[in-house]
Structure 1
Amino acid sequence: MSASAPPVQPADMDLKQFEADNCGSCRLASLIPEVCRAEDCCLGVDEAGRGPVLGPMVYGICFCPVSKKEELKDLKVADSKTLTEAERENLFQNLDQAKSYVGWALQILSPNMISTSMLQRMKYNLNALSHDTAIGLIQYALDSGVQLKEVYVDTVGPAEKYEVKLSQRFPGIKVTVRPKADSLFPVVSAASICAKVARDRVVKGWKFAEDLGQIDTDYGSGYPNDPKTKEWLLKYLDPVFGYPQFVRFSWSTAQTLMDSKAVTVRWDDDEEDGEKAAERQNNRSMLSYFSASAEADRAQQTHRFFTERRLKSLKSL
């Protein structure tokens, strides 16, 4: 009887940097093949995780010499959404084994970063964030010496406007923006696979900063209409502090649940003194939680929300 073959080791994608701080943004990249610095290259751009209420969004690029397009096609890359997780892992393994002429880079955008960007005073919507992330990755390839001549992008928003925007940003490069580009161009399919593999791994190995005890990781697909996802959101909704940072709290699904299930909070406005307004309403002002006296009163019982995020009260500015 022949010995069974050893299990295939996951292709190299070191997520330690993101896992050490999963509340911001992190860039990962392969080594740049020398041939990509010497020959004209094509590059594909795609993302994974745009719609889910849980977990990060990952933008990916993949690039190779124009002369290697057929070899890339022979790797049988396809739109990651049409593949199983195991199939995506196998294809990423194939891309890794082709690293003599294939390179990739990823930008992982945490749920916290996405939500804070969308809810900041100067609105920064998901389309703008997506465009800027894609532009940043293309620029990274250029700065790394990749000789880009062709760029293919799966569109976000109107394809024609996005194509003009990228063409103006990167003159001298032929830019093609199409809906469903991940099913039309192998180099975009490859970028899609890299991005989806990264998201799958990050979600599966998510390190919760919050003390949630024995966490239930059966949260379904992460999409808002998934019953398992909705059940998980209800289970881990803190009535005062909302959701762990694994959740995109700016998504309407999360906001609706917070509005209906969480404690109502009255935020003081600029037109009325906060403490007086709270007194008039027979309710404690949010500002009082950050006062020096309040800090002294609760020095021995600081809520985990503050300690987990290393937040402290300011006595002076």
Structure 2
Amino acid sequence: MDLTPLEADNSVSCRLTSEIPSVCLEEDCCLGIDEAGRGPVLGPMVYGICFCPISKKEDLKNMKVADSKTLNEAERENLFEKLDEAKGFVGWALQILSPNTISTSMLQRSKYNLNALSHDTAIGLVQYALDSGVQLKEVFVDTVGPADKYEDKLSKLFPGITVTVRPKADSLFPVVSAASICAKVARDRVVKGWSFAEQLGEVDTDYGSGYPNDPKTKAWLLKYLDPVFGYPQFVRFSWSTAQTLMDSRSVAVHWDDDEDGGAKAAQKLNNKSMLSYFSSSGAAPTHRFFTERRLKNIDTL
């Protein structure tokens, strides 16, 4: 798994892919989708797909793939290596959503929540497989939101493909378990090797699981909260945990239009010609923006 594209700029999202097995271009295939890192306040969320010919389902099952959450790190790494070595019939692709991508998506002006981001990411990965020539006939997905609505949505988007959306799909279908392992291994590697663009010096990497209720994670968040600039981009600042800490421990920012009438006063100010502030009449600007800063008109430079 080559993480070079992400290492070049981990503030953006990137896609990592394996080679497409030639057999997947010729035979009917199944594909599983799962994610890793949905809940943590630290690090990326990774969506993964894994696909293979339907005729090879038993071979995939015999590799003893399982839900990544039931395996330790060494077991996941070992199974990922097995999946990677089975490149004659197994393919995978990953979409790594950076913390910055997650935060800016969720906090943009038009509503775009984590479920919508997850759906769009999964859809993009299925489309990638189709565009690559994989002969998809079956898709299995771990649900995000109501399973029946998600299944109907995917079925309409990809007619001719049988879509199955189930809770805990990663423990029901080996191809989803395989996708879960790929996603989890990628996230673990990214988190472990995270490069802090903010030049914080030597950073304590003992930040626990990254989940908000982990004491180590809470301690790390407190330690690296800058009162002016907030958090490094390793933190999902759209999470309520991060927002609460920033609200309570950061320097307060006062916006001139926060007070009642401020917006109207600003509009009135904007409607005046800028040239009026450089006139020789000597009349001082009356808006409090000028008076609070002790600014006054001048007629010579």
**TM-score of the superposed pair, with normalisation by structure 2:** 0.87
Which aligned pairs between 1:13-28 and structure 2 lie closer than 5 A? Answer: 13-28=1-16
Q: What is the CA–CA distance in structure 1 between the aligned matches of 2:201 and 2:183, rounded to whole Å? A: 30
Q: What is the CA–CA distance in structure 1 between the aligned matches of 2:132 and 2:237, rounded to whole Å? A: 35
Give 3-state SS (helix, strand or coil) of 2:140's partner: strand
Q: 1:126 maps to what in 2?
A: 114
Following superposition, the deviation at residue 283 of structure 1 comes to: 8.3
Q: 1:91 maps to what in 2?
A: 79
Distance 1:279 1:197, change over 3 A: farther
The counterpart of 1:102, out of the listed 79, 86, 90, is: 90
Q: Percent identity?
A: 81
Which amino acid in the other structure matches residue 266 of structure 2? Answer: D
Q: 2:233 maps to what in 1?
A: 245
Q: 1:290 maps to what in 2?
A: none
Following superposition, the deviation at residue 279 of structure 1 comes to: 6.0
Give 3-state SS (helix, strand or coil) of 1:52's partner: coil
Contact 1:154 1:179 in 2 (8 A): yes
Q: 2:266 maps to what in 1?
A: 273
Contact 1:268 1:277 in 2 (8 A): no
Indicate the structure (1 or 2) with the bigger Cα radius of gyration.
Answer: 2
Deviation track 1:25-75 (CA, whole Å, cap 9, x = no partner) reads 100000000000000000000000000000000000000000000000000
Q: 1:8 maps to what in 2?
A: none
Q: 2:278 maps to what in 1?
A: none
Give 3-state SS (helix, strand or coil) of 2:206's partner: coil
Q: What is the CA–CA distance in structure 1 between the aligned matches of 2:175 and 2:219, rounded to whole Å? A: 38
Q: 2:260 maps to what in 1?
A: none
Q: What is the CA–CA distance in structure 1 between the aligned matches of 2:289 and 2:35, rounded to whole Å? A: 45
**TM-score of the superposed pair, with normalisation by structure 1:** 0.83
Distance 1:239 1:278, change over 3 A: farther
Which amino acid in the other structure matches residue 127 of structure 1? Answer: N
The counterpart of 2:123, out of the listed 109, 128, 135, is: 135
Say whether 1:261 aligns with 2:249: yes
Q: What is the CA–CA distance in structure 2 between the aligned matches of 1:158 and 1:255, rounded to whole Å? A: 28
Q: 1:170 maps to what in 2?
A: 158
Say whether 1:65 aligns with 2:53: yes
Q: What is the CA–CA distance in structure 2 between the aligned matches of 1:173 and 1:195, rounded to whole Å? A: 23
Q: What is the CA–CA distance in structure 1 between the aligned matches of 2:75 and 2:206, rounded to whole Å? A: 21
Following superposition, the deviation at residue 268 of structure 1 comes to: 4.1
Q: What is the CA–CA distance in structure 2 between the aligned matches of 1:283 and 1:158, rounded to whole Å? A: 55
The counterpart of 1:235, out of the listed 198, 223, 233, is: 223
Following superposition, the deviation at residue 273 of structure 1 comes to: 2.3
Give 3-state SS (helix, strand or coil) of 1:273's partner: helix
Q: What is the CA–CA distance in structure 1 between the aligned matches of 2:7 and 2:199, rounded to whole Å? A: 16
Q: 2:175 maps to what in 1?
A: 187
Which amino acid in the other structure matches residue 96 of structure 2? Answer: I
Q: What is the CA–CA distance in structure 2 between the aligned matches of 1:73 and 1:155, rounded to whole Å? A: 21
Deviation track 1:108-156 (CA, whole Å, cap 9, x = no partner) reads 0000010000001111100000000000000000000000000000000
Distance 1:77 1:272, change over 3 A: farther
CA RMSD for the aligned pairs? 1.6
- Structure 2 gap ranges (5+): 258-262, 270-286, 295-301
Following superposition, the deviation at residue 214 of structure 1 comes to: 1.2
Which amino acid in the other structure matches residue 229 of structure 1? Answer: T
Following superposition, the deviation at residue 272 of structure 1 comes to: 3.9
The counterpart of 2:144, out of the listed 139, 152, 156, is: 156
